[in-house]
């Protein structure tokens, strides 16, 4: 039997053996802590009579405040008069009488429950639930209200004979989540009422009926953790006035196999092209169904995947048959220490097969390739810190080309290559902890393409930036190879100071010494020399990152520029990007691209937050998307108001405006949102 | 002008090559980052320093055509790296780098998929080069 | 089995003779005081009081049956009754009104229960006691 300890200013013992402790009385027993003005206790009876401001904290952290109480000696059972119960420092329940029954149940009568701060100058909380009786089940962590009345700012809104709410310390419990009111120009005014169902400790599903005058939709989100991976699925079934029955499913499965292999499967299905956009389920305009087996280790990487593509783009639906829809790829790359000769040797083997549904000659071209490559490289320091690097490589590929008479049915290609790169990194330290690194770089690549030319299936989109300025090829895939003698020269400069400011600059150019670079009129790489690549970056601590990149012609006219800023502080968040790119018919872009996106949120006060997002297309001189949001959060509620307009219009989608209003009660059920600290009543 | 060769005599990274053992990659992007770091730092398993990096990638559409089709994507990447002394794991230096690359999405399905993969690969090269530029002056 | 802190004082009988033993005794007739010094032990019935020094004051008016009006014990006092034991730095037992006043780190132990505080005043006739000053107690609540 455990001992209870008591501390007080005075203890009186009267002739009948009645002990009365008074003055700052504290009693500790098996994790229960009681503090009160006076505790008296008689020898024969089992109960403690307690008066004065009483505060009982039970091991679970629940706090009871009362003016008087009658508890048994182990402070477990008994009645508290005009008491308040505080759950998890969030939800307060005031009651005329609280009866503690054993370790599990607490019965409260004539109750006012709210997680809002109640002060003299603001006696009416933002929301409260009044009830004749509430029973708190400490094991199930549920609150059962009887004859409950939900009031907002003192005005009764709903009357519920029975109401069950999870107590704040409970994270996962089956039940109705907070509804969202939503009106959209396409789907009229509607309401979403999500219902969360716990399916055992490792799985749950959220089922959300979305009802409006224009649509009856059932959305679902399923999640499951397995011992070796996880399953996620999102989907919806709809019957609406726009297109009748519609549905979509996005599911992906990850499963870890023995020996480090990972199996991934992704399913993406949509009943009609406009569905995702109209219901704002996703911006995606192409679907990918894929099954992939991969393994990544220290010295080797393996990947095998079968992918099926499906387009939702209006411009492509008509020519769908001429787009590759199935792609099988196998790739393995491994370092071979035995052949390293003091450097590093990597061999890689890969094969792919691409299929187009159409069987029209030319349009329906199907391609299969299998090939292998070996690359050797060695770096060493020469003289005063000069880093020299030598590379040798050999690549051989065999192609089978079907349904395209402009190409032979089979083609082989062998490409030997060699490269030398010279880097001379220099640094200097300056006053105030400033350090600078300057690194001039020059590289020469030589390669000879033997064999017939092959169709570029995986190497059509050419991008040029600091990531491939000093590499042996700018082609993204295997089909494209550079030929001849190319020289790339440039330099990078980094300045870093003591208080987290970092500035980077990179400049460079690549040129071919024997004719054309081979990229046709690809952006920035047309003709025999590339445009000047200039890239800059500014980083301030972890908060601000500004990165920008441009391609300048010899007449220093900007042909492509892209910038991005990401600025996060605890007071505001800003993300913005601007891209300007000229028309690129080879890549299917016939109009100039000049687009600015902006996304920001700002805490007006610690309770009000305004947010906005905007996308403006300078070429078409139109807004592509605009949205505004305002959010009020205090210690017990969050109200979010949002309006957004999306301007895409095509045969399958029309511009839509959406207005959303969402109220969530905080302090009821484990709401993950971080709540504003409780404001002191004086404030 | 005060610049001295980093790997030269008395340079800020003299003898650093071959001392750093870069941590194992966990995914395709990590594989490219580790390969590039090892190429540039002359990595070896016997190094007395261990470099680990944590990569976070995200992709968002930056170009929308009038009919809602996405014409260009930005791939943003952030790497948090830590250099520790092997054995007692004391932290020698830490840092983070962030940048982006982009790719056009107006070509065929397969070409766009490869463009996305190459954009991630180029981003890893950029971030690795930045880490190396940092390490050149921050390893005592 | 209860945490019964009531004082087992009903058995205390004030009419019992008070017997005092000590190493040294010095008496001062003029002031009516006797000072016992060194391992003093005072016994009355089943109640025993031991202390480093005890000063006994006799009532000169002779109202008390044996003339002792107050006992003042100091230098560490232990007061033992059949049911509990009390320790303190000093104690004053006034025979006339049957009260004992102990002070200085008082510890009262009774069976498994103990109360500690600065001062303890006991009313031997009424059987009540008051402990004051940073009072701390340990008691065994009954399970149900």
Q: What is the largest CA-CA distance in chain C?
A: 63
Nearest to A458 among B24, B97, B114 (CB): B114
The nearest alpha carbon in chain C to A102 belongs to C144
Taking every pair of C-alpha atoms in chain A, what is the biggest distance, in angstroms? 116
Q: Does C31 touch chain A (CB under 8 A)?
A: no
pLDDT score of B7: 93
CB contact under 8 A, A615 and B64: yes
CA distance linking residue A551 with residue A534, whole number of Å: 6
Contact A461 B63 (CB under 8 A): no
Q: Mean pLDDT over residues A106-134, rounded? A: 83
Contacts of the segment A33-36: beta carbons below 8 A, 24+ positions apart: A33/A57, A34/A71, A34/A75, A36/A69
Cβ <8 Å between C128 and A12: yes
Distance CA A54, CA A65 (A): 5
**Which pLDDT value is given to residue A427?**
94
What is the per-residue pLDDT across C46-69, written as a single tens digit (0 to 9) for each?
A: 878 889 988 888 776 644 445 777
- Backbone φ/ψ region at A75: left (φ over 0), alpha (ψ -120 to 50), beta: left
Closest CA to A265 of A225, A308, A326, A327: A308
Average pLDDT of chain A is 88
Scanning C63-122 for CB atoms below 8 A from A yields: 112, 115, 117
Least Cα separation, residue C89 to chain A (angstroms): 19
10 Å CB burial of residue C95 (0-12, 13-18, 19+) is buried
Please indicate whether, in this complex, the C-beta atoms of A43 and C139 are within 8 angstroms of each other. no
Give A44-97 pLDDT, tens digit per residue. Answer: 666 788 888 888 888 777 888 888 888 776 677 777 777 778 877 778 888 888
Cα angle C36, C42, C46 (rounded to 5 degrees) comes to: 180
- Can you list the alpha helix ranges (DSSP code H) found in A26-183? none
Contacts of B118 in chain A (CB under 8 A): 463, 468, 476-477
Give the tens place of pLDDT for each residue, A281-332: 988 899 999 999 999 998 999 999 999 999 999 888 888 899 999 999 999 9
Contacts of A14 in chain C (CB under 8 A): 126, 128
Question: Does residue A637 register a pLDDT over 70?
Answer: yes
C4 — contact with chain A (CB < 8 Å)? yes
Choose the closest CB to B7 out of A385, A504, A539: A385
Residue C111, classed as helix, strand or coil, is coil
Q: Euclidean distance between the first and final Cα of chain A, in Å?
A: 47
The DSSP letter of residue A257 is: P
Specify the length of chain B in residues.
Answer: 140
Share of chain B above pLDDT 70, in %: 100
CB burial of C30-45 (b: ≥16 within 10 Å; e: otherwise) equals eeeebbbeeebebbbb
Binary contact (A427, B12; C-beta < 8 A): yes
What pLDDT was estimated at residue A27? 86
Please name the chains neighbouring A, where neighbouring means 3+ C-beta pairs under 8 angstroms.
Answer: B, C
Helix (H, G, I), strand (E, B) or coil at A96: strand
Residue of chain A whose Cα is closest to the Cα of C115 = A11
Q: What would the pLDDT profile of C94-138 be if each residue is shown by its tens digit?
A: 877 878 888 999 998 877 678 888 898 888 777 788 888 888 887
Give CA separation, A227 vs A65, A116, A234, A577, in Å: 45, 41, 21, 40
CA nearest neighbour of A366 among A374, A357, A375: A357
Q: Do C130 and A10 touch (CB under 8 A)?
A: yes
Whether residue C2 and residue A1 make contact (CB cut-off 8 A), yes or no, is no
CB contact under 8 A, C143 and A11: no
Burial class (CB in 10 A: 0-12, 13-18, 19+), C52: middle
Q: Do B108 and A648 touch (CB under 8 A)?
A: no
Interchain touch C–A (≥3 Cβ pairs closer than 8 Å): yes
For residue C90, count other CB atoms closer than 10 A to its CB: 18
Examine chains C and B and say if they touch (3+ CB pairs below 8 A): no
User: What distance in Å separates the CA atoms of residue A671 and residue A111, rounded to the nearest whole number?
Assistant: 23
Residues of B in contact with A647 (CB under 8 A): 66
So what's the pLDDT on residue A93? 85
**C142–A11 C-beta distance less than 8 A:** no
| Cα–Cα distance for residue pair B84/A11, rounded to 1 Å | 61
Partner chains of C (3+ C-beta pairs under 8 Å): A
Q: Is C5 on the interface with A (CB under 8 A)?
A: yes
Chain B residues touching A622 at Cβ < 8 A: 66
User: Which chain C residue lies closest to A7 (C-alpha atoms)?
Assistant: C136
Which residues from C are below 8 Å from A43, CB to CB? Answer: 2-6
Residues of chain B in contact with residue A383, where contact means CB-CB under 8 angstroms, are: 8
Contact of A186 with A199, CB cutoff 8 Å: no
Question: Which residues are CB-contacts of A289 (< 8 A; sequence separation ≥ 6)?
Answer: A266, A267, A268, A269, A307, A308, A310
A-chain residues near B96 (CB < 8 A): 542
Tens digits of per-residue pLDDT, B51-90?
A: 999 999 999 888 887 777 888 899 999 999 999 999 888 9
Least confident of A382-391, A394-403, C84-93: C84-93
The answer to whether the CB atoms of A324 and B8 lie below 8 A apart is no
Give percent of chain A above pLDDT 90.
Answer: 49
Whether residues B98 and A297 touch (CB distance < 8 A) is answered with no
Q: What is the pLDDT of residue A655?
A: 83
Interval A162-196: pLDDT, tens: 888 887 777 777 777 777 888 888 888 899 888 88
């Amino acid at each position: 039997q455990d001992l209870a300890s008591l501390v007080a200013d005075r203890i009186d013992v009267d002739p009948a053996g009645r002990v009365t402790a008074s003055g700052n009385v504290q009693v500790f027993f098996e994790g229960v802590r009681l503090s009160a003005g006076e505790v008296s206790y008689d020898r024969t009876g089992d109960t403690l009579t307690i008066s004065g401001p009483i505060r009982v904290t039970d091991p679970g952290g629940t706090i009871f405040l009362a003016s008087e109480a009658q508890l048994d000696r182990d402070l477990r059972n008994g009645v508290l008069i005009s008491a308040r119960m505080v759950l998890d420092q969030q939800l307060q329940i005031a009651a005329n009488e609280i009866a503690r029954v054993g370790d599990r149940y607490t019965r409260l009568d004539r109750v006012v429950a709210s997680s809002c701060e109640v002060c003299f100058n603001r006696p009416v909380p933002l929301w409260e639930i009044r009830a004749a009786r509430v029973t708190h089940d400490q094991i199930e962590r549920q609150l059962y209200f009887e004859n409950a009345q939900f009031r907002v700012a003192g005005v009764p809104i709903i009357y519920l004979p029975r109401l069950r709410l999870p107590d704040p310390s409970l994270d996962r419990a089956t039940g109705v989540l907070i509804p969202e009111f939503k009106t959209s120009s396409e789907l009229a005014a509607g309401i979403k009422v999500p219902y969360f169902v716990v399916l055992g400790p490792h799985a749950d599903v959220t089922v959300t009926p979305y009802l409006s005058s224009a649509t009856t939709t059932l959305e679902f989100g399923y999640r499951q953790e397995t011992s070796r991976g996880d399953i996620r699925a999102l989907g919806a079934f709809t019957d609406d006035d726009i297109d009748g029955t519609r549905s979509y499913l996005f599911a992906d499965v990850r499963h870890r196999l023995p020996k480090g292999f990972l199996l991934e499967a992704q399913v993406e299905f949509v009943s009609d092209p406009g569905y995702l956009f109209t219901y704002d389920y996703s911006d995606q305009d192409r679907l990918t169904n894929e099954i992939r087996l991969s393994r990544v280790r220290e010295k080797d990487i393996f990947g095998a995947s079968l992918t099926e593509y499906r387009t939702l783009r209006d411009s492509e639906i008509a020519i769908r048959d001429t787009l590759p829809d199935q792609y099988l790829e196998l790739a393995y790359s491994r370092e071979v220490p035995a052949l390293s000769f003091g450097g590093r040797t990597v061999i890689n083997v890969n094969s792919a097969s691409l299929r187009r549904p159409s069987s029209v000659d030319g349009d329906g071209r199907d391609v299969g390739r299998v090939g292998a490559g070996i690359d050797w490289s060695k770096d060493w320091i020469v003289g005063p810190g000069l880093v020299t690097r030598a590379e040798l490589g050999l690549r051989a590929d065999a192609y089978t080309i079907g349904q395209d008479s402009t190409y032979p049915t089979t083609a082989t290609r062998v490409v030997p290559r060699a490269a030398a790169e010279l880097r001379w990194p220099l640094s200097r330290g300056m006053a105030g902890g400033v350090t600078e690194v300057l690194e001039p770089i020059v590289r020469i690549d030589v390669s000879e393409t033997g064999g017939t030319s092959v169709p570029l299936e995986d190497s059509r989109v050419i991008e040029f930036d600091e990531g491939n300025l000093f590499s042996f090829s700018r082609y993204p895939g295997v089909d494209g190879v550079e030929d001849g003698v190319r020289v790339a020269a440039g330099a990078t400069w980094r300045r870093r100071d003591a208080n987290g400011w970092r500035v980077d600059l990179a400049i460079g150019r690549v040129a071919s010494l024997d004719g054309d670079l081979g990229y046709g009129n690809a952006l920035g790489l047309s003709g025999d020399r590339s445009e000047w690549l200039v890239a800059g970056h500014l980083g301030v601590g972890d908060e601000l990152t500004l990165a920008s990149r441009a391609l300048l012609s010899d007449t220093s006219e900007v042909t492509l520029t892209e910038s991005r800023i990401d600025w996060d502080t605890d007071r505001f968040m800003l993300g913005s990007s601007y891209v300007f790119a000229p028309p690129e018919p080879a890549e299917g872009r016939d109009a100039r691209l000049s687009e600015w996106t902006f996304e920001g949120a700002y805490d007006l006060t610690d309770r009000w937050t305004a947010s906005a997002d905007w996308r403006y297309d300078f070429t078409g001189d139109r807004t592509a998307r605009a949205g505004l949001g305002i959010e009020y959060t205090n210690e017990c509620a969050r109200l979010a108001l949002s309006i957004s307009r999306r301007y895409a219009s095509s045969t399958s989608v029309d511009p839509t405006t959406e207005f959303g209003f969402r109220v969530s009660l905080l302090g009821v059920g484990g709401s993950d949102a971080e709540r504003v600290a409780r404001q002191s009543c004086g404030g | 002008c005060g610049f001295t060769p980093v790997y030269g005599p008395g340079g800020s990274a003299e003898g650093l090559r071959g001392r750093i053992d870069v941590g194992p990659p966990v995914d395709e992007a990590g594989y490219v980052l580790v390969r590039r770091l090892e190429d540039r730092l002359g990595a070896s398993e016997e190094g007395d320093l261990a470099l680990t990096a944590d990569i976070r990638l995200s992709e968002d559409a930056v170009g929308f055509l009038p009919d809602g089709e996405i014409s260009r994507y930005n791939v943003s990447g952030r790497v948090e790296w830590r250099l520790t002394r092997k054995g007692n794991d004391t932290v020698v230096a830490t840092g983070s780098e962030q940048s982006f690359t982009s790719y056009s999405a107006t070509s065929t399905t397969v070409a766009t998929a490869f463009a996305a993969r190459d954009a991630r690969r180029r981003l890893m090269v950029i971030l690795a080069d930045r880490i190396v530029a940092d390490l050149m002056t921050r390893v005592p | 089995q209860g945490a019964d802190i009531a004082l087992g004082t009903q058995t205390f009988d004030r009419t019992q003779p008070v017997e005092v033993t000590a190493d040294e005794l010095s008496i001062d007739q003029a002031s009516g005081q006797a000072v016992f010094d060194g391992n003093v032990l005072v016994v009355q019935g089943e109640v025993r009081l031991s202390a480093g020094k005890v000063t006994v004051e006799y009532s000169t008016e002779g109202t008390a049956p044996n003339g002792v009006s107050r006992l003042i014990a100091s230098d560490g006092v232990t007061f033992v009754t059949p049911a509990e034991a009390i320790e303190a730095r000093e104690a004053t037992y006034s025979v006339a009104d049957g009260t004992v006043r102990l002070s200085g780190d008082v510890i009262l132990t009774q069976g498994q229960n103990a109360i500690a505080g600065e001062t303890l005043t006991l009313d031997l006739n009424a059987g009540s006691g008051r402990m004051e000053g940073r009072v701390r107690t340990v008691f065994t609540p009954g399970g149900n």
